[in-house]
Amino acid sequence: MQKITPFLWFDKEAEEAVEFYTSVFKNSEKGKITRYTEEGREIHGMPAGTVMTVDFRIEGQNFTALNGGSTFGFTEAVSFVINCESQDEVDYYWEKLSRGGDPKAQVCGWLKDKYGVSWQVVPVVLSELLNGVNSEEVMKELLKMKKIEIAKLKRASELKQK
């Protein structure tokens, strides 16, 4: 059993969101669904039979999605990083997860999906480039981007030092 499981609070879209996430990530699966009962209705306010939680797994990481009502929403204070091996992988996740999301929340590889969840779509080479000789040039280029473009960052890393 995984020691820590991220628990994502949705208004009423938990099952829909899980369907979406498991369609985006190829190595994923939907798990157990629990439903609200009449017990505690005065607290949770959900009709009996409504989906309460959906367990799911993405790339070996367990998650639970909860239909908890509109009391809480997602913020950028918590995000999920997707470490990408290639530009094709960056492009794939960026296109899938940003569709329907908040375009104003897109900067330096960060995006907010249509459910308000924040993701960082990051090439693994970024860390190496930001720790290289021309890290300032790389950072300057990175700050101009929404979706990260590896080729531009590599060109910036190869600029002659001034």
Q: What is the pLDDT of residues 21-61, one digit of tens each?
A: 999 999 999 999 999 999 988 888 899 999 999 999 999 99
CATH 3.30.1360.120 fits 74-162, yes or no: no
Enter the CATH code of domain 1-72: 3.10.180.10
User: DSSP string of the chain?
Assistant: --S---EEEESS-HHHHHHHHHHH-SSEEEEEEEE--STTHHHH-PPTTSEEEEEEEETTEEEEEEE--SS----TTSEEEEEESSHHHHHHHHHHHHTTS-GGG-BTTEEE-TTS-EEEEEETHHHHHHTSTTHHHHHHHHTT-SS--HHHHHHHHTSPP-
Could you tell me the pTM of the whole model?
A: 0.91
Q: What is the pLDDT of residues 100-143, one digit of tens each?
A: 999 998 999 999 999 999 999 999 999 999 998 889 999 999 99
Going from N- to C-terminal start, the domains of the chain cover 1-72, 74-162
The CA radius of gyration of the chain, in Å to the nearest whole number, is: 19
- Assess whether the region 1-72 and the region 74-162 belong to the same CATH fold: yes
- What does DSSP say about strands 118-123 and 110-112: parallel, antiparallel, or unpaired? antiparallel
